[in-house]
Amino acid sequence: MRKLKVAQLKPGMVFDAPVYIDPNNILVQAKQELSQKDIDRLKKWGIEEVETSGQLVQEAKSGPSSNFDTKEEPTPVSASFSAEALRLHSEYEQLRKTRNQFRNRLAEYGKTLEQNWKLLNEKKQFDNQSVLKISQALVEDIFTVPLIIIAARYNYVSSNPMIAHAVHAACYGIHLGKALNFSRPRLQEVCLSLLLMDSGMTRLPMDLYTTKKDLEDQEKNAIRTHPLIGYKMLLNDARVKASLAVVALQHQESFNGKGYPQGLSGGQIDVMARIARIVDTYSAQLEERPYREAKLPYDAMKNLLSLGTEQYDPKLLRAFLGCMGMYPLGSLIELSTGQIGLVVGANAEKPLRPVLRLMRDEKQLPYSGLSFLDLMEYTQVYIVRAISEKESGVDLEQEM
């Protein structure tokens, strides 16, 4: 690799290999034209040298003409060096280093929770201390590596879909509670209550959860009993304190008073149950069901917002949108430039302008290193649509 002085860089230069800010951050890809904005950002951040193993294959532009094809096509954008992009780069490195250990821990959390749900259903000795330890560990995981929230969705938790759902919802609940500045002990309570909120479902036939057909009225009425069943189970059999068991009782209540089982509204609903209502609905939409495919995170968030204050506390919903984004963390998106990115950072003030890790260039080729893009820096670039892994050609389990 050879050093290049930033002072010697000119707009229009093209190199036949990537130009790097440092070993982990790409300025421009191979055969991508250097722009004045690239150079200005380097100067803004006090970067005096970049490096490349390539050779200059196109000189700086001398005038308005260019050797490039003059078709009016979007110009691919290069990496960002905003404070937010650099912070998220560091957090993403943490994610990559710890995700294998986290994958193993998630499976252990699922196994322990499933064992205790079984004990609870059979009215045997419920080990609430082991479930509390899961809550403590999950909170610590998300505090230590905030972007682990992205990996949680793609990793195996349990073959029991209710257990997997409980853990996923708990992760999103911690993330929301963290955005609300809850203390760690408070977040552990949020997590514990979410892990146990659907425990009443264990007393109902599993077919009600896994059926591919529309439920009969009698079956729907049976499902509507699970909050009260779970509340009584947690109080009487699991020795969970009432302030946490109430989440099982109230997590299907709606902010407008049209939920169940009590028809509570607004502040009558415990704040943790109001959090549960949001993250329960959101995470359920991301999960495949026998009667439907999993929804994209963008569609799940859009559905939440469309119901708005009818079902959800508006302040909490606004906070959830702020910490997740309109294209929520973990979403794959296509840019107006043709590039594909993974959403790794949300902008609370502008939820349509997230920070991305660039996964594919405009030719749908993988990037050779980590490259991040803060859409707050590139106002001319916009998100065209949310896409699935299949559409994008990105295997997040392997490429994250």
**Contacts of the segment 65-73: beta carbons below 8 A, 24+ positions apart:** 66/12, 68/33
Say what the pLDDT of residue 127 is. 92
Q: What top-level class would CATH report for the domain 2-58?
A: alpha beta
Tell me the per-residue pLDDT of 31-85, one tens digit each, with 9 for 90 and over.
Answer: 888 888 888 877 766 778 888 888 888 877 654 433 333 334 556 766 677 888 8
The SS3 of residue 164 is: helix
CB neighbour list of residue 258: distance below 8 Å, 6 or more residues apart: 310, 311
Helix residue spans in 122-160 (DSSP H): 128-144, 148-154
Is-contact 337 74, C-beta < 8 A? yes
**Do the domains at 2-58 and 98-324 have one common CATH topology?**
no
Q: Does domain 98-324 have CATH number 1.10.3210.10?
A: yes
Residues in the chain, pLDDT under 70: 24-25, 44-45, 61-75, 77-79
Q: How far is CA 366 from its chain centroid? A: 21
Domain definitions of the chain by residue range: 2-58, 98-324, 332-399
Question: pTM, whole model, 2 decimals?
Answer: 0.81
Helix (H/G/I), strand (E/B), else coil: 333: strand
Q: What is the pLDDT of residue 61?
A: 63
